[in-house]
Amino acid sequence: MLMKRLAAAAAIAVLGVGVAACGGTDPATPGPSTASFKAGSTMEKLNKAQKITIGTKFDQPGFGLKGLDGKPAGFDVEIGKLIAKELGIPADKIEWVETKSAVREEVIEKGTVDLVVATYTINDARKQRIAFAGPYYVAGQHIMVRSDDSSITGPDSFKEGTKKVCSVQGSTPATNIKKYLKDEATQLVLFGGYAECVDALKNKTVDAVTTDNVILLGFVASSNGAYKLAGNKFTDEPYGIGVKKDDTDFRNFINDLLEKIAKDGSYAKAWNDTAGKFDKNTPTAPAVNRY
């Protein structure tokens, strides 16, 4: 506590004497001053308030997982921090709000959060309600099974109607898998979190868990060989950053930033610190889509 206060006092003192050119890698360092933002824009508003509210997942290993200290950590969180930094807002001024899959559009529309970075797949239905910056990563839906099970080779294995699959309530993977099922009522289980699905897989209540590959890789890696991925990924899930539908300035601002961090290495660093623990192949940042 005392240390934190001293550090804060020191930071204020440093700022007070106007040492502006301190290290760019420190996320707590304020970025550009108010002057550089367009008058009346979201960026200016946020920068003036020196506060930003970001929605992310609290239960996605590698992307956004709330730790024992109550703060989320992961690739999405790092992207959020980079955006805040570009807005001149230090990392400790970010308020993190849990946005489960089912509520993401609503919290953006209502303005409960300023933006959402939450393994948020860009699609047309969602574009009707909100706007996406990005993509900043392309995930793909995959299927995880018990290692000794060779009967499931891909989503088509569910078409017979005997295999049971688990996913998370209100998520894109849950919606995607439905078209491969013969009967939703007898084949689909939806829980609040993936660990509950993995537990159901372990005790053979279900035969498979489906969601985006990185999350599954995390479970595979920490299971002592109990699980494996079946077949190939069968969708492309471009993750975007959700903002209000008409806020084109803010969207462009984030897109510019994404292009910048792809070049200056902070993208790769964010990956290696977080999701890189599950998936050692650092992805190349996809081209942003300025629709």
Partner 1 sequence: MNVLWEQFPVFRDGFLLTFQLSFLSAIGALLVGTLVAVLRISPVPPLRWLGTSYVNLFRNIPLTAVFVFVVVGLPLLGSSADFLKIPGLDQIFTRLGIDLPYFRFSIIALSLYTAAFVCEALRSGINAVPSGQAEAARSIGLTFTQNLRFIVLPQAWRAAIVPLGSVIIAMIKNSAIAGFMGLYGDLSSRGQELVSAGVNGVTYPLIPVFIAISLGFLIMTVPLGLLLDRIEKNRMVKAR
Partner 2 sequence: MSRETSVLYDAPGPRAKRRTIILSVVIGLAAVALLYQFVYKPLDAKGQFSMVKWGPLIDPDNEYFDGVWDRLWVGAKATMQAAALAIVFSALVGLVLGVIRILLRAVSTRRYATLPPAVAYGLRGLTWVLNALTRVCVEFFRGIPVVITIFFAWQLLGGTFLPVVVGLVIYNGIVIAEIVRSGMEGVAKGQREAAESLGLSSLQTTRLILLPQAIRTMLPALISQIVVVLKDTALGGIIVAGYEELIATSRQVSQLLPQLAFDQELYNPLQFFTIVCLMFLVVNYALSKLAQYLERRLSTKADAKPVKVTSAAGTGV
Q: Out of 97, 166, 177, 188, which residue is the one contacting partner 2 (CB under 8 A)?
A: 97
> In the beta sheet, which residues pair with residue 188?
165
3-state secondary structure of 130: strand
Footprint on this chain of partner 1 (rule: CB under 8 A): 101-103, 105-106, 123-125, 162, 164, 169-171, 174-175, 184-192, 196, 199-200, 203-206
224 binds partner 2 (CB under 8 A): yes
Q: Is the distance from CB of 115 to CB of 240 less than 8 angstroms? A: no
Q: Which one of partner 1, partner 2, none is in contact with 205 (Cβ closer than 5 to 8 A by kind)?
A: partner 1
User: Could you say which DSSP state residue 286 is in?
Assistant: P
99 binds partner 2 (CB under 8 A): yes
Nearest to 44 by CA among 32, 54, 28, 56: 32
115 binds partner 2 (CB under 8 A): no
Q: Which one of partner 2, partner 1, none is in contact with 170 (Cβ closer than 5 to 8 A by kind)?
A: partner 1
Q: Out of 17, 68, 125, 185, which residue is the one contacting partner 2 (CB under 8 A)?
A: 68
Distance CA 219, CA 197 (A): 11
Cβ contacts of residue 29 below 8 Å, gap of 6+?
22, 23, 85, 90
Select 141 or 266, whichever has its Cβ closest to partner 1. 141
Block residue for tokens 């699609």 = 123
C-alpha gyration radius of the chain: 20
196 binds partner 2 (CB under 8 A): yes
Q: Which residues bind partner 2 (CB under 8 A)?
A: 58-59, 61, 65-70, 97-100, 103, 106-107, 110, 112, 192-196, 198-199, 202, 218-219, 221-224, 226, 277
